Amino acid sequence: MYSKRFEKEAFKATVKDNVKTLYRKKIDEATPQQIFQAVSYAVKDIIIDDWLATQAEYRKKDAKTVYYMSMEFLMGRALGNNLINMTAYKEVKEALEEMNIDLNVIEDEEPDAALGNGGLGRLAACFLDSLATLNYPAYGCGIRYRYGMFKQKIENGYQVETPDDWLKEGNPFELRREEYAKEIRFGGSIRFEKDPVTGKDKFIQENYESVMAIPYDMPIVGYGNHVVNTLRIWDAQAITNFSLESFDRGDYHKAVEQENLAKMIVDVLYPNDNHYAGKELRLKQQYFFISASLQAMIEKYKKDHDDIKKLYEKVTIQMNDTHPTVAVPELMRLLIDQEGLSWEDAWDVTTKTCAYTNHTIMSEALEKWPIDLFSKLLPRIYQIVQEIDRRFVEQVRKQYPGNEEKVRKMAILRDNQVRMAHMAIIAGFSVNGVAQLHTEILKHQELKDFYEMMPEKFNNKTNGITQRRFLLHGNPLLADWITGLIGDGWITDLSKIANLKPYVNDEKFRKEFMQIKYQNKVRLAKYIKEHNGIDVDPRSIFDVQVKRLHEYKRQLLNILHIMYLYNQIKEHPEMSFYPRTFIFGAKAAAGYLRAKETIKLINSVADVVNNDRSINGKIKIVFIEDYRVSNAELLFAAADVSEQISTASKEASGTGNMKFMLNGAPTLGTMDGANVEIVEEVGKENAFIFGLSSEEVINYENNGGYNPIDIYFNDWELKRVVDQLMDGTYSNGNHEMYKNLYNSLLNTQSTSRADMYFILKDFRSYAEAQKRVEEAYRDEQRWSRMAMLNTACSGKFTSDRTIEEYVEDIWKLEKVYVPSGQPE
Ligand SMILES: *Cc1c(COP(=O)(O)O)cnc(C)c1O
């Protein structure tokens, strides 16, 4: 695509030039980081023309645009992905080789843009890739956190968090857009006035604090289509309009305060996944980026349109979870107070513009702001929320006369809290879950009352992932092999990967497939040797669980099972056992005690098992430090087994499961989230399913939980494993080290229910499924067929499919084709 303009010699010259102007160096004197910067600027140079052309074409076509609002964008690295989507990766690799530069080494110089926690943030990143590739006008809107997701170090087996100073060396792909800065106001009070001319109500915010929001734009390159969309992330800056005179009048302190407020707002990403902390600063972050994005959106609309009442014809706002829900009252405020619409007209526009994606049913993740905090920080917004709530409650009472229970359950304002999910559902024209099972649970359990009142809003959009990053870039050997067999159509139409199916029946191709898996395992083994100093055998089964550390994801079940296997091998050294490498990667929220204890447990078991020569290396355990998008790409490519073992009903979708499947790793999992649909696609004989169903789990929960004590006393092997948490086996004799984990299972101290995540309940079923994995792996013919079928059946799980569904059912966008941008 870019080959016409991607001219090798010119590119090499630009790289050399950049090194010279940026660093006053010759290319052979430059550090790898300097070369990364120079190469990235050269790449941005090429992108810019298409970026301009795309935006001009969108304006010319007056195309409807989706604004994807998200507190998180887990982008990972940009350079390799941009080259892939420019279809210039191989040419650039060659060009650099001619200069004795290894592109892979240069790529490793780029810090991950880790502006997200886990699945939710990565979904937003995959969606941007798909939107651009499918020719849809889109903005991602978020925050330019000064520090993204913390870097994880493992010290003495414990997680230690260090700041992620990702902007330290400068971000070559971003563009600062000072001219689009917006003022954001917090606090103060609202004075009400009648406009003497129009007679309309006017609301004036006084004694507020304010900051400037400055946008930074990052290009989102579509695959081979010249489309370049924009990720717009906002930085905060103090308003510096005070004069020297006012210094003398004592405004200096005020100026410094504003400076501090600005620094604080965008300082750091809250490192919680599926958990809500209720901090004032977090609400400030939400309002900050939402108000800035909406002001910019309206300003852009008004450049070419004069009827603000038709805003919804040209824009749609998708709210990624409840985090951006303050968009609802903020859009109302802008339409009423700034644009002069009546309440009814503003409500009409708002409810035709906003749509909401629900990401979880777990109560600890649902945002509920204390009213006093909310109203103090956002006084005008709070007035509007009160009015939305008042009108909604009126409607409920009309529809369900005398049913105050309904009002109590459904209102936005209740028990001194602002319930953000309720506001999102009430104002959104669409409410979607992220996998079939999750959407059904929403409709019939969690959001039952809302579903009964407004069934037409509810719909499912099963998540997806981009094959450009997680196969084409992350697994080049497999990508090339697939293209050799079926052509490269799968890159932009993953349903075509089904054309691999006929080859599954031919042993020759299955062998080639497994040979590639082996090479990827060698690549990962090298990474493990470098980072962990552990030798792992690429012929062993690579059994991988990588995802955020959370009790519902049940890393504890995995490690307890490894402890159980180790006991067995020790007791029956003659027992047949296929060598396994258990690989973990997970960050724990800094304040999440049980999660951190689980990391320590995994590392302690690893220490004991990896160094026990009597088991002949049958089990190795590896904890990958600082799990993130860049090393994730290596892990998916090398995995034999995909551990997706969440307590059924708790994982809304999962997307890691899809990345493993795409790369040919069968799922070992529960019938939860998108695992259900994975099994539907690949067949249950090509997965290893175990454990309670979501119905069974929900049933137990509605009846006060279950009692793990019977299991504990009747299964002595399992009891022994649980007791080993307390007897010092994995803690050098310290009996306290894992007491939180022990208590969480048996509830000897804690006030919450025992074994809330059904670990003991599912243990035997899991152990038995693991036996089936071993059996299947021993049969090379069978395993290679299963693995390859997983890849061949993964077509549904591309985020391209997900985006087409959003477009068709919710966003109603038109594709815009962009002519190649001409350099001027
Ligand atoms: C895909 C991905 C996730 C989400 O994984 P799940 O297993 O779905 O929780 C989290 N982190 C990173 C870096 C990812 O790439």
Is 359 annotated in the active site?
Answer: yes
- CB of 785 within 6 A of ligand 1: the answer is no
Query: Does the beta carbon of 77 lie inside 6 Å of ligand 1?
Result: no
**Number of compact structural domains in the chain:** 3
CA of 657 to the centre of ligand 1 (A): 8
- Please tell me if the CB atom of residue 666 comes closer than 6 angstroms to any atom of ligand 1: no
Helix, strand, coil % over all residues of the chain, rounded to 5 = 55, 15, 30
> What pLDDT does 243 receive?
52
Check 323, 461, 548, 596 and give the catalytic one: 548
Same domain, 88 and 209: no
Residue 544: which residues within 8 A CB-CB, separation 6 or more?
583, 584, 585, 635, 638, 639, 640, 641, 642, 643, 660, 665
Range of lowest pLDDT (54-63, 186-195, 384-393, 459-468): 186-195
For the stretch 302-361, pLDDT in tens is 999 999 999 999 999 999 999 999 999 999 999 999 999 999 999 999 999 999 999 998
| Phi and psi at residue 325, to the nearest 5° | -65, -20
Q: Is 547 a catalytic residue?
A: yes
Q: Choosing from 323, 553, 587, 618, which is the catalytic residue?
A: 553
pLDDT at 3: 45
For residue 629, which atom of ligand 1 is closest to its CA? 13
* Same structural domain, 140 and 104: no
Q: Where are the beta strands (DSSP E) in 420-540?
A: 431-433, 458-460
Residue 679 CA to ligand 1 centre (angstroms): 19
Q: Ligand 1 centre from 771 Cα, in Å?
A: 26
- pLDDT for 5: 62
**Tokens in use for 406?**
């309904």
* Strand boundaries in 415-528, DSSP class E: 417-419, 431-433, 458-460
Residue 140 covered by a domain = yes
**How many residues are recorded in the chain?**
824
Same domain, 54 and 147: no
Q: Compute the distance from residue 138 Cα to the ligand 1 centre, in Å.
A: 23
Indicate whether 249 pLDDT > 70: no
Contact of 374 with 283, CB cutoff 8 Å: yes
Say if residue 680 is in the same domain as residue 635.
yes
- Whether 397 maps to a domain, the answer reads no
Average pLDDT over residues 186-196: 93
Looking at the structure, tell me whether residues 47 and 178 fall in a common domain: no
For 193, residues 6+ apart whose C-beta sits below 8 A from its C-beta are 201, 202, 203, 204
Contact 125, 76 (CB under 8 A): yes
What does the pLDDT average to over 785-801?
99
Alpha helices in 706-779 (DSSP H): 709-714, 716-723, 739-746, 759-778
DSSP 708: T
3-class DSSP state for residue 59? Answer: helix
Q: 609 with 562: CB under 8 angstroms?
A: yes
More confident residue, 568 or 750: 568
What single letter denotes the amino acid at residue 125? A
501 with 567, same domain: the answer is: yes
In sequence order, what are the beta bridge partners of 235? Answer: 214
- What are the residues whose beta carbons fall under 8 Å from the beta carbon of 247, sequence distance 6 or more? 255
CA distance 189 to 379: 6
Q: Alpha-carbon distance 359 to 122, whole Å?
A: 13
656 lines ligand 1 (CB under 6 A): yes
Decide whether any atom of ligand 1 lies within 6 Å of the 587 Cβ.
Answer: no
Q: What is the mean pLDDT of residues 437-448?
A: 97
Domain match, 7 and 23 both: yes
* Section 740-751 average pLDDT: 84
Cβ of residue 547 lying under 6 Å from some atom of ligand 1: yes
Q: Does residue 333 sit within a domain? A: yes
Tell how far the Cα of 388 is from the centroid of ligand 1, in angstroms. 36
The Cα angle at residue 765 between residues 763 and 767, in degrees rounded to 5: 70
Q: Are 654 and 685 within one domain?
A: yes
Structure tokens given for 89: 């990766």
Instruction: Point out the catalytic residue in the list 77, 151, 232, 359.
Output: 359
Residue 553 designated active-site = yes
Per-residue pLDDT tens over the stretch 34-70? 999 999 999 999 999 999 999 999 999 999 999 999 9
Atom of ligand 1 nearest to the CA of 119: 4
- Which pLDDT score is estimated for 200? 85
Closest Cα to atom 7 of ligand 1? 656
Domain that holds residue 218: 64-76+113-368+420-460+807-811
Same domain, 673 and 572: yes
Q: What mean pLDDT, rounded, does the chain reach?
A: 96
Burial label for 250, CB within 10 Å (0-12, 13-18, 19+), is: exposed
- The H-or-E segment that residue 124 falls in is helix 119-133
Q: Determine which residue's CA is closest to atom 1 belonging to ligand 1.
A: 656
Q: How far is CA 714 from the centre of its chain?
A: 41
Does residue 76's CB lie within 6 angstroms of at least one atom of ligand 1? no
Assessment of whether the complete model's pTM goes beyond 0.75? yes
Q: Which one-letter DSSP state was computed for residue 669?
A: E
Let me know if residue 321 belongs to a domain.
Answer: yes
DSSP 129-193: HHHHHTT--EEEEEE--SB-SPEEEEETTEEEEE---TTTT--TT-EE-GGG-EEEEESSEEEEE
- The DSSP code for 115 is E
Which strand (E) or helix (H) includes residue 581?
strand 580-585
Mean pLDDT of 250-266: 83
Looking at the fold, whether 98 and 195 belong to one and the same domain comes out as no
Please, which residues bridge with residue 151 across strands?
A: 162
Question: pLDDT tens digits for 115-133?
Answer: 999 999 999 999 999 999 9
Distance from the alpha carbon of residue 119 to the mean position of ligand 1, in angstroms: 5
Tokens describing residue 85:
């989507």
Q: 416-429 pLDDT, tens per residue?
A: 999 999 999 999 99
Residue of 543 and 1 predicted with greater confidence: 543
pLDDT (average), residues 605-615: 98
Q: Quick check: is 663 in a domain?
A: yes
CATH of the domain at 192: 3.40.50.2000
Could you tell me the pLDDT band of residue 253, with boundaries at 50, 70 and 90? Answer: confident
Q: Whose CA is nearest to atom 9 of ligand 1?
A: 547
What pLDDT shows up at residue 639?
A: 99
Question: Does residue 168 sit within a domain?
Answer: yes
Contact (CB, 8 A) for 438 and 361: yes
The answer to whether position 642 is within a domain reads: yes
Q: Residue 814 and residue 166: Cα distance in Å, rounded? A: 36
3-state secondary structure of 783: helix
pLDDT digits over 64-92, tens only?
999 999 999 999 999 999 999 999 999 99
Does residue 517 belong to any structural domain of this protein?
yes
Residues 265 and 176 in one domain: yes
* Statement to judge: residues 624 and 605 lie in one domain: yes
pLDDT at 1: 44
